[in-house]
Amino acid sequence: MAMSAEEIRETYARCAAARQRLQELAVRATPREKIREQIQRLGLSLDEEMGQNSAEELAYAFDLAIYTAPPGRSRAIDRVARQHARLPGEAALVLNALTRSWLSIFRVLDRHPEEGLVLEDALLGGEIWLVDQNLAETAPPGTVLASRVGRVLGFAITTGVVALLDEGMLAAMLGTLRQGGVEGAALAEDPRFARAMWQRALGFHVDQGW
């Protein structure tokens, strides 16, 4: 049975709350030095207690700490999934969405007729239905953005962080991929790509060669 717009908004609010709880568990499961390492790699100020960083800045470092890992090492979000394999209901669906989430570059095509936005995956191909109240209010058609997204109950949610890009950067990136014979999926899975996108979001210069 299809949900009404109000039901979709209510479901999204519960999913967003579950996402926050699960990602907080993943952060707590990550050694502090690993988080400090990601803060440093992003080019942010670093002190012993991370007190110089805003919550918004830390969110980008947390994303890298949670969703990326060196070859042969498990990601923090996967460790949380193993420890909480019997979560009930929507929480289990959100955890599954987070573990299967993917980073890509998207272009906003239009508002979804029910709620949220229709996005084109400009890097990997295809379209997704994204429900995110902040983006729905601030990202008109044509907006280009990088985000990590996962599917829940038919629609997708972000993992909480977004980098606003532009058509010029997207065109340059796609041209580089074509010239180098690199597939979009390989780029999207490279932790250096995620770091470059979040540096862009934080206002740092990003080398077009990543």
pLDDT in tens, 151-192: 998 899 999 999 999 999 899 888 888 888 888 888 888 889
pTM: 0.90
Residue 96 host element (H or E): helix 89-99
Number of H helices, E strands in the chain: 9, 5
Strands (E), 12-72: none
48/99 Cα distance (integer angstroms): 30
pLDDT for 183 equals 86
pLDDT in tens, 9-67: 999 999 999 999 999 999 999 999 999 999 999 988 866 666 567 888 999 999 999 99
pLDDT for 76 equals 95
Chosen CATH of 102-164 out of 2.40.50.140, 3.40.190.10, 3.40.50.2300, 3.30.1280.10: 2.40.50.140
pLDDT for 163 equals 96
pLDDT in tens, 118-159: 999 999 999 999 999 899 999 999 999 999 999 998 899 999
pLDDT in tens, 70-112: 888 899 999 999 998 888 889 999 999 999 999 999 999 999 9
CB atoms within 10 A of CB 199: 19
User: Domain limits of the chain?
Assistant: 5-98, 102-164
- The stretch 178-207 carries a mean pLDDT of 85
Question: Is 210:173 a contact under the CB 8 Å cutoff?
Answer: no
